[in-house]
Structure formats: C-alpha cells, structure tokens
Amino acid sequence: MSRMQVLMSKAGAVAHSMAAELTSASVGDRMPTAQELSERHGVGKGTVQAALALLEEAGAVEIRSRGKLGTFIAAIDHRLVWELAGSGSIPIAMPLPYTRRYEGLATGLHAAFEQLGLPCTLMFVRGSANRARAVRQGRADFAVMSGFAARADPELEIVRDFGPQTYVGAHGLVVAQGRDPDDPDLRLAVDPSSADQRELTALRFPGLPPERRVEVSYNQLGRHFADGLVDATVWNVDEVDAHIAAPITVHPLDGVDDTATTSAVVVARRGADPAPVAVREALAADVVMAAAAEVVAGTRIPTY
C-alpha cells in the first residue's frame, strides 16, 4: 500500500469518527482546532485536515475560518453526516397500535424520519412501564408515552411534548352498570404494565386494599366485565365501546390533570448523550402531528 493510500485510509477513518461527532453539531458551532482534533483522534494535523476535506468534498459540512475567533460550521447536511457516521436505525419504543391515536403517532414519526432520510425502527411494546424499561436498559433510544407517566419516572427526560389529547382523548372511571362508583367494595381492574392506569387508580382510590385490586391486561377487560370478575376500572374512554360489550357507565375522573394524562411525549434516558440534531429535527417536524391528525380523522391510511 502506498503512503498516499495509507494517508487516505487514516483520513477516511478519522472522517468517519468526526462525522459521528458532527451528528450533534449545528450551523454556527465552533469547530475544535486542528491541534484539539489531532489529540482527540491520535493522528497528525495533516490527517485531520485531510479528513475535514473529505467531509467537505462529500457535502456533509462547510467550514469557514473567522480568523482569530476560530473555525465555524457554515452549513451541515445532517442526513449525510448521519450516513457517513455509519449510524444505524434509531429504535423508538411505541405503544401497541390498537387505537387510532397510537396508529397516528406511529405514522407521523415514521413519516418525519423518512422525510429527513433517517432510518428508524418502531418497537411496539405493551405498557408504558415496559417502554420506560426499554429506554433505561438501552434497548430503545426513545419511547412514546403519556406526559403523566413520563414525569413520574425520574430516570426519563421529555424531549418532545405533542400536547393535550395526542395520546388519549380522556380517562374515565368505567363502572359496571348498577354499581355505585363510590362503593367501598368495588373490585378494580388494573393493568400492571400501565403506569398511567396504576397511578390514576391510586389517585382515584387511595389506599386500595390488595383484595380489591385485580390485575388484568387491557385486552382481557371485556371478558372480566362480562364474567362479573371486576366491577370498575380507570381507562382510556376512546376504547371503552370497542373492548367492553357488557353494560357499563363511564364517570368523569375528578381531580386529575387532563393535560398530562392525555399528552403524548417522547422520552429519552436522563443523562444520555444529547439527541443528534437530525433526530431532534425529526421529532419536532410538523409532519408528525399533521399525519397523526389525518389518521385519527380517517383521511390517511396508517403506515409504519
């Protein structure tokens, strides 16, 4: 291998590493000096300059000198930077798409990442507690859940809040017909994988004794009500009619902040490296909620 080939090989490897660093950079950011980059990557200044030249020639970044002030990023193509960095698909833990709102969120996020040319993998995970665990364990970079569930977990940080009624329309107290919602003997169905349901049930029924608590997955609620195994549950009112055929009455859930419980948010692990700029742009894109609204309205076919 000639010296030039060795140089270009080293420059290519450094360009690859520098591209990874640039995923979190923005126009106007100051670039490290050649000396700083040389020390960081363990190569000579010539190799650093060759690596920067490769990135500029590829159109990934444009760098301009401001004399004694240093060198700054004048332009950056985050999609290309992501590609040159060899970054993989971004895993996002999503709620199971069993409601139109959840299908809308999946469709909107898929469209936003596709629009920016970024690969993303939507992982459908039942229960906000399980999605939070996926983020904490590094199996997902981000997760979608309610603002209520997100704020209850100190290890999570909200990186995007889509606003009220983007996660669910409302929560209510679903009670078997003929039962009094304040009956002290009500048997409450609680899905242990749902942080929302657990916490909302605790707010509505503080000090609920274990014998009145019945652990039930959401997809078993209909059967439990029909068989008389439970008397009530706190649940998303959007889905009551579709899943519970038994005669029931839905009561308002008093004393609960609807803004937090109905807002969809995207969370990341608190203390994790900052989300790459391109990812932040995708999460902030208007197309997310525009596509979601169309799915909810029935004017767009869910695609994810």
For the chain, the domains span 3-84, 90-166+263-297, 171-257
Residues pairing with 268 in the sheet = 157
Angle between helices 195-204 and 128-136 (to 10 degrees): 130
Domain pair 3-84 / 171-257, same fold: no
Specify the pTM: 0.81
Q: How would you class 111 by CB atoms within 10 Å of its CB: exposed for 0-12, middle for 13-18, buried for 19 or more?
A: buried
Q: Which CATH fold topology does 171-257 show? A: D-Maltodextrin-Binding Protein; domain 2 (3.40.190)
Could you tell me what percentage of the chain is helix, strand and coil, using 3-state DSSP and rounding each to the nearest 5?
Answer: 45, 20, 35
pLDDT, mean over the chain: 91
pLDDT in single tens digits along all 304 residues of the chain: 443 444 457 888 999 899 989 988 889 999 999 999 999 999 999 999 999 999 999 999 999 999 889 999 999 998 899 888 888 899 999 999 989 999 999 999 999 999 988 899 999 999 999 999 999 999 999 999 999 999 999 999 999 999 999 999 999 999 999 999 999 999 999 998 888 999 999 999 999 999 999 999 888 999 999 999 999 999 999 888 888 999 999 999 887 778 889 999 999 999 988 888 889 889 998 999 999 999 999 999 999 9
Which tokens in the block code for residue 143? 């997760």
Which tokens in the block code for residue 170? 């409302």
Second CATH level (architecture) for the domain 3-84 = Orthogonal Bundle (1.10)
Specify whether the CB–CB gap between 147 and 269 falls below 8 A: no
Tell me, what amino acid is at 205? F
Tens digit of each residue's pLDDT (9 = 90 or more) over 167-177: 999 999 999 99
CATH 3.40.50.150 fits 90-166+263-297, yes or no: no
Tell me, what amino acid is at 157? E
